[in-house]
Structure 1
Amino acid sequence: MENLKNFQFRYAVYDNALNIHNHSYAQMLFPIEGNLYIETGKQHINLQAEDIFFLPPNCRHIFAANGDNTFLVLDIPLYMIYKDDMNKINGGIRILPNEKWKAIKFLLLNEINGENASHQSILDLFRYSYNMLLLDTLPNSIRYIHEHFNEIINLDILAKIENYSIAYYCEWFKKQTGVTLTNYIKKLRVSKAKDLLLNTNYSILQIAQQVGYEHHSSLTRVFLEYEKLTPKEYRKSIQKPVK
């Protein structure tokens, strides 16, 4: 199975023959021209020019084009994917157009087709769009957590969003996620920190403050709990240059 070490973007043209494929990385497809039939076992989709499709890693898929076509394809390595969220989008997600997604597609194409295409800008646009994608799959209160993960989150607010008592909400939350609210927030902050460690030159303190911790020592403590490495050690272990 093909592996991928770095985030990539490219234009692709698909042929009319049925192809069967599987790869360990994720993809996001933006049709520019033409249609593409995709079958993932759970989905049978004729991808239209206005659609966007997210294909999770390790998802066997069959695809074939219908006539002339051009697609913008983002190839996304595993380290950029929140593994706990992949079960929610098993088989892929067809994203129907709205103003935000239209704007993301426009900005991506504008950046890629510019004279000085910036890999970092394209990466930032993907990260923003990936967060939007995940939020669309979540219950309202969990979506609120993702939108406010770097703030102090009030349990009473979360319970009211779902119209539950606080006691029932805690039980419901653990059934939904498999973990307590405290652990969910810590894991989310670590995931966000890993993304920043890998794809920016921000200092550990700057990253700590962006994910909700006042001091870098607080991030280090939580990072060690979940990754068994300090943030500095984790960044060094990847040894992936920031472009």
Structure 2
Amino acid sequence: MNGIICEKRIFNDTLITHSHSYAQLVLPLRGTMNIQTQKKNLILDEKHLFFLPIDNMHSFKSQGPNEFLVLDIPNYMFSNEDMNKLEEGVKCNLDEKWRAIRFLILNELNGKNNDAIYKLFHYFIPFIVKKHIPNSVKYIHEHFNENIDLKILANIENYSLAYYSEWFKKNMMLSPVEYIQKLRINRVKELLRDTDLSIMQIACEVGYSHNSSLTRLFKLHENTTPANYRAEIRKMSDLQLKSGNEDLQNLSYLY
């Protein structure tokens, strides 16, 4: 390939399976498309776009009226580091920023100079390549104080439950359960330090119905109980405050 190929394309309901030695950016204009890779199974609609990496075996089909803006992007335009980050494909929300990018690309479709498309590529590719927080991790941060079903997390990423657990640990260095526990413990430490809530109230705040459950988990991670942690952290705070007051007194003597 000599540069980026950018076209409007219409697909039918025949299931096609193949791979190619170039990447693709698929931006819906209307309709939907079913795309299945080795690790993802998703429906691409008018609210999402999809980046398909190089040499990725995939199947796709579309039913009903449809039209997609597709960019075929040669492999020499990516570094090895970038492609490692993109190897599983990236699904993004077609938000206001991406709609503006799509508009600019559409305006350049009939132009003979590929330079404008090339410049747009270098503008938008960091949005795809940059290490982003996966949607399931965002969900965990928003709901860590609730009972989270791992099936919901796997579905968010379009993965099977077994693969999701493996994928999560590879990317986050912890299992989903361990990651949730870590978020809860960090929140507990904040509440112990900054509030006068009881241990029972704090337990409820982070998703436990019994303070014994919180105490057991906290001791496992911090080697102390919540009550002892609060006492120690406040003792240290009092000492620092006292030391600061003494320093101010000493300074006052100098003046």
TM-score computed with the length of structure 2 as normaliser: 0.49
Matches within 5 A, 1:42-57: 42-57=39-54
Cα shift at 1:89: 2.1
Paired residue for 1:131?
Answer: 126
Cα shift at 1:133: 1.1
Q: Deviations over 1:23-73 (max 9, x none)?
A: 011000111111110001211110001211100001000101021111111
Q: Match for 1:39 among 36, 40, 52? A: 36
Paired residue for 1:62?
Answer: 59
Three-state SS of the structure 2 residue aligned to 1:67 is coil
Using the alignment, how far apart are the partners of 2:101 and 2:131 within structure 1?
15
Cα shift at 1:85: 2.0
Paired residue for 2:16?
Answer: 19
Task: Return 5+ residue gaps in structure 2 as ranges.
Answer: 135-170, 172-255
Paired residue for 1:95?
Answer: 92
> Is residue 11–residue 70 contact of structure 1 (8 Å, CA) maintained in 2?
yes
Structure with max Cα Rg: 2
> Is residue 88–residue 137 contact of structure 1 (8 Å, CA) maintained in 2?
no
Matches within 5 A, 1:191-206: none
Three-state SS of the structure 1 residue aligned to 2:88 is coil
Cα shift at 1:117: 5.5
Q: 1:100 to 1:8 in 2, by over 3 A?
A: same
Cα shift at 1:8: 1.1
Cα shift at 1:107: 1.3
Using the alignment, how far apart are the partners of 1:120 and 1:42 within structure 2?
34
Greater alpha carbon shift after TM alignment, 122-131 vs 52-61: 122-131
> Is residue 38–residue 45 contact of structure 1 (8 Å, CA) maintained in 2?
yes
**Are 2:76 and 1:73 aligned?**
no
Q: 1:33 to 1:138 in 2, by over 3 A?
A: closer
Task: Return 5+ residue gaps in structure 1 as ranges.
Answer: 140-175, 177-243
Ranges of 4+ aligned residues in structure 1 off by more than 4 Å: none
RMSD between aligned alpha carbons?
2.1
Matches within 5 A, 1:1-243: 4-112=1-109, 116=111, 118-137=113-132
Using the alignment, how far apart are the partners of 2:131 and 2:69 within structure 1?
22
Identity %: 38
Using the alignment, how far apart are the partners of 1:120 and 1:110 within structure 2?
13
Using the alignment, how far apart are the partners of 2:112 and 2:119 within structure 1?
13
Letter matched to residue 114 of structure 2 = H
> Is residue 112–residue 118 contact of structure 1 (8 Å, CA) maintained in 2?
no
> Is residue 85–residue 134 contact of structure 1 (8 Å, CA) maintained in 2?
yes
Cα shift at 1:87: 2.2
Q: Figure out how many residues of one structure are paired with residues of the other and give that number.
A: 135
Cα shift at 1:110: 2.3
Cα shift at 1:136: 4.6
Letter matched to residue 13 of structure 1 = I
Three-state SS of the structure 1 residue aligned to 2:32 is strand
Paired residue for 2:152?
Answer: none
> Is residue 4–residue 117 contact of structure 2 (8 Å, CA) maintained in 1?
no
Cα shift at 1:131: 1.6
Q: Deviations over 1:58-115 (max 9, x none)?
A: 10001010211111111111110122122222221111122221211111112325xx
Using the alignment, how far apart are the partners of 2:127 and 2:23 within structure 1?
16
Paired residue for 2:240?
Answer: none
Using the alignment, how far apart are the partners of 1:112 and 1:9 within structure 2?
7
